[in-house]
Amino acid sequence: MRSRLLQSSTFRLSLLYTVIFAVSVFGPFAFIYDETVSSIDREINAAIDAETRGLMTDLERMGGAGLIDVVNERTADPADLDAIYFLADRDKRPLAGNLIEWPRNGVQEGRWYLFEIEAVEGGRETSHHIRSRIEVIPGPYFLLVGRDIHERDKVRNTVRRAVGWALALALGLGIPGGVLMSRRVLGRVDRIAETARQINEGDLSRRMDVGDSGDEFDRLSESLNAMLDRIDRLMTGMRTVSDSVAHDLRSPLTHLRNRIEQALREARDTDDYRKALRAALSDTDRVLTMFNALMTVARAEADMGRQEMERVDLGQVAAGVVELYEPLVEERGMEIAASIAPDAMVRGHRQLLAQAIANLVDNAIKYSPSGERIALTVAVEGAEIRLTVADSGPGIAADSREQALGRFVRLAGRETPGYGLGLSLVAAVAQLHRATLLLEDNTPGLRAVLVLTHA
Amino acid sequence: MRILVIEDDEQTAGYLRKGLKEAGHAVDWSKDGRDGLFMATNERYDLFIVDRMLPGIDGLSIVKVLRSENVRTPILILSALGQVDDRVRGLKSGADDYLSKPYAFSELTARVEALLRRTGGESVETRLSVADLELDLLKRTATRAGQPIELKPREFRLLEYLMRHEGQVVTRTMLLEGVWDYHFDPQTNVIDVHMSRLRQKIDKGFDKPLIQTVRGAGYTLRAE
Ligand SMILES: Nc1ncnc2c1ncn2[C@@H]1O[C@H](COP(=O)(O)OP(=O)(O)O)[C@@H](O)[C@H]1O
Ligand SMILES: [Mg+2]
């Protein structure tokens, strides 16, 4: 069975990153290593070449005996084993230099001859690695010029060790780190999956835990929660609509049914039937009007219609509504005063905004006694646009204002026409526009304020 | 006039056909979107009445196809999808009018007559006149029997709408849509107040009123 850890993509990712990391550490080190070692090599080689050239000139100038003198002179200090000089005869027997005998068991590498020597330094026997160049001089003699390359080897070994450690460290920290990290991440994914499972099983109120680090997981959880909230709101909206449709359309439908039944039972002549049918028709219209209003409210509450939003001048929309209602206001012996700021641009749904404003004006007319004045203002206040419809009628008591926004809520008597859906629509349209709806006291009267964002 | 009804619900279609026939039209009916589209492209009609949700091809697609094939016949969409956004989408697809179900038959006939009598192409008129009432569309002035009538801009547009639909019944909803561009019904009947004001201005003091109320339907403007 493969372990969960190996299956987790996080672990695989962290492994991959560790490898990439290791390679990226190794790469520069290898380069540095190569550069350092080869530059030392170049220096050594150049020194050997220069030395050899010098000795060859000496040979030309002073002949064989002279060369022996020079070599002897250069190897006068027995402690100096850095530079190796050795002059041998045709049988490779020593003539001069700081080697006891011609080196054997060395290796030829290109034009370089590599070998090891044993020396006694400070009473200790040490081994030295020598790189050398051999010239055959007419005679024939053999001239060997070499350099101790153990310093170079030391550098090389240091760098190699460093690379080794770095790699070991990269892998040693990277793999457990990756495992730890993937454990942590796995745990959080598991928690999200577990929550999702619970939601799936019907506990729709469950939400993802959101930490306070604001990292990707917190953001993921937040978006999931936002999505769940929205689904919840949509479902609640849908349920309330169907509940209220079921509940509130039931009574007018019952009424309608009774009326028809009664007509069938009691009507004597066509006139009776005609009367009953006409009444039934107007009952039906009532139901339809209610139904349409409910649908509009439900759709706005469910955030439908946001795609239809555009940049609109709220002032123009409001002016249109004022103009639509003006004759009615005057007919009721009232007055409507509009004060509208220019360029009150908002992102909005023109029709729904107009309908919401119309409902507010409608209420102001309906609930104010005649002779009163209605004030409609649209004001631009910084980043906000405030639309106010104020009347000086009875207003709504402070503790009933929240309630007045509910569906089918009618606070005043039954004598005024209406279904109690007007303010529900205003509230839903406000929500759709991410606007705030305030119902305030106009002392006396109601002041309804819609606060929208300036676009 | 010849009308093609594309509607899958038999009862709705039956009611519609009966009513339209009584109004003196010849009505063909298709139950299915595909057949309906075929009939619409292959025969001559004066009006299409199209439902939105249909088997085969949906109503909006039918409208789009017809318009893309340069069929200019007026189209009335009749749909159970009656929200503002549905209407706007329907009109955007190329339909000339949109009526949501259920509807009052008077509303339907008024709209059908308006579409059937629509003068082909928007001829650029500069004057409208009905009896002794004259409207100068350029100067935005109105006169009745030579006497100038003072009209507010919206009253002018209301009167213009009525005169363009001379002799036809226009409903309150048609006026709200056509004159105010509002696609919702205000809670209180505001149109009647506007109409009575307009009446005051153009009919008061003349013995032949031009604006008439059509009971249960709307208004009509005509020269007796
Ligand atoms: N401007 C107002 N002045 C006084 N009361 C109001 C006002 N607007 C609304 N109300 C109260 O709030 C209730 C709910 O209003 P609304 O949702 O518009 O329904 P409706 O007007 O159909 O009754 C009304 O029944 C009324 O009692
Ligand atoms: Mg109201």
Would you kindly state where each structural domain of chain B is located, as residue ranges?
Answer: 2-117, 123-221
- Residues A268 and A325 both lie in one domain: no
Phi and psi at residue A125, to the nearest 5°: -85, 125
Residue A450: pLDDT above 80?
yes
Give phi and psi for B3, each to the nearest 5.
-125, 135
B88, B182, B187 member nearest A359 (Cβ): B187
Crossing angle (nearest 10°) for helices B153-164 and B191-203: 80
Q: Do B185 and A354 touch (CB under 8 A)?
A: no
Same domain, yes or no, for A32 and A103? yes
- In Å, how far is B195's CA from the nearest CA of chain A? 10
Do A292 and A310 belong to one domain?
Answer: no
**If you take atom 25 of ligand 1, which residue's CA is the nearest one?**
A410
Q: Is the pLDDT of residue B169 over 60?
A: yes
How do residues A346-366 score in pLDDT, each as one tens digit?
A: 999 999 999 999 999 999 999
User: Which residues constitute the domain of residue A231?
Assistant: 219-301
Residue A447 belongs to domain with CATH number: 3.30.565.10
β-pairing, A112-121 vs A94-97, is: unpaired
Residue at a domain's end among A301, A320, A345: A301
Q: How far is B120 from chain A (nearest CA, A)?
A: 30
**Residue A242 CA, distance from chain mean position:** 38
CATH number, domain at A228? Answer: 1.10.287
Q: In the predicted model, what is the mean pLDDT of chain A?
A: 86
Same domain, A320 and A369: yes
Q: What's residue A8's pLDDT?
A: 67
pLDDT band for A7, please (50, 70, 90 cuts): low
Shortest-distance Cα residue to atom 23 of ligand 1? A420
Overall number of domains in chain A: 3
- State whether residue A39 is helix, strand or coil: helix
**b or e along A15-34 (b: 16 or more beta carbons within 10 Å of the residue's beta carbon)?**
beebeebbeebbeebeeebe
Residues A321 and A236 reside in one and the same domain: no
Contact yes or no for B171/B106 (Cβ under 8 A): yes
Residues A417, A315 share a domain: yes
Separation CA B84–CA B76 (nearest Å): 16
What pLDDT does A4 receive?
Answer: 65
Q: Is A277 on the interface with B (CB under 8 A)?
A: no
Q: Is residue A194 part of a domain?
A: no
Q: For A366, name the nearest residue in chain B, comparing CA atoms only.
A: B188
pLDDT at B19: 93
- Residues of B within 8 A of A418 (CB-CB) are 187
pLDDT given at position A188: 83
Given a cut of 70, whether residue A175 has pLDDT beyond it is: yes
**Residue A427 C-alpha to ligand 1 middle, in angstroms?**
13
Each residue of A110-160: pLDDT tens digit? 888 888 888 777 777 778 888 888 888 887 788 889 888 887 888 888 888
Within 8 A by CB and 6+ apart from A412, the residues are A367, A394
Q: What is the pLDDT of residues B97-128, one digit of tens each?
A: 999 998 989 999 999 999 998 765 556 788 99
pLDDT at A244: 67
Same domain, A33 and A150: yes
Mean pLDDT over all residues of chain B? Answer: 92
User: What's the distance, CA B117 to chain centroid?
Assistant: 9
- For A281-338, write each residue's pLDDT tens digit: 888 888 888 888 888 888 888 778 888 899 999 999 999 999 999 999 999 999 999 9
A379-390 tens-digit pLDDT: 999 999 999 999
Same domain, A371 and A266: no
Are B184 and A289 within 8 A, CB to CB?
no
Nearest to B84 among A320, A352, A366 (CB): A352
Same domain, A321 and A435: yes
Which of B88, B186, B193 is facing A362, going by the closest CB pair?
B186
Same domain, A257 and A358: no
Candidates B82, B102, B180; nearest CB to A324: B180
Q: Helix (H, G, I), strand (E, B), or coil: what is residue A128?
A: strand
Query: A–B: how many Cβ contacts below 8 A?
Result: 59
Homologous superfamily assigned to B2-117: Response regulator (3.40.50.2300)
Q: What are A177's two structure tokens?
A: 């780190």
Query: Burial letters for A373-386: b for 16+ Cβ neighbours within 10 Å, e otherwise?
Result: ebbbbbebeeeebb
The answer to whether residues A331 and A439 belong to one domain is: yes
A279, A368: one domain: no
| CATH code of residue A22 | 3.30.450
Of A246, A278, A301, the position where a domain reaches its end is A301
A282: contact with B, CB 8 A cutoff? no
pLDDT at residue A1 greater than cutoff 60: no
Identify whether A203 is part of a domain: no
Residues 6+ away with beta carbon under 8 Å from A311: A345, A346, A347, A455
CA B104–ligand 1 middle distance (angstroms): 29
CATH code: domain B123-221 is 1.10.10.10
CA distance A199 to B193: 55
A298 close contact with B: CB closer than 8 A: no
Beta strands in chain B (DSSP E): 2-6, 26-30, 47-51, 75-79, 97-100, 127-130, 133-136, 141-144, 147-149, 169-171, 211-214, 218-221
**Is residue A146 included in any domain, yes or no?**
yes
Q: Using the beta-carbon criterion (under 8 Å), do A324 and B182 form an inter-chain contact?
A: yes
Is A388 within the bounds of a domain? yes
With an 8 Å Cβ cutoff, the interface of chain B facing chain A consists of 82-85, 88, 102, 154, 180, 182-188, 190, 193-194, 197
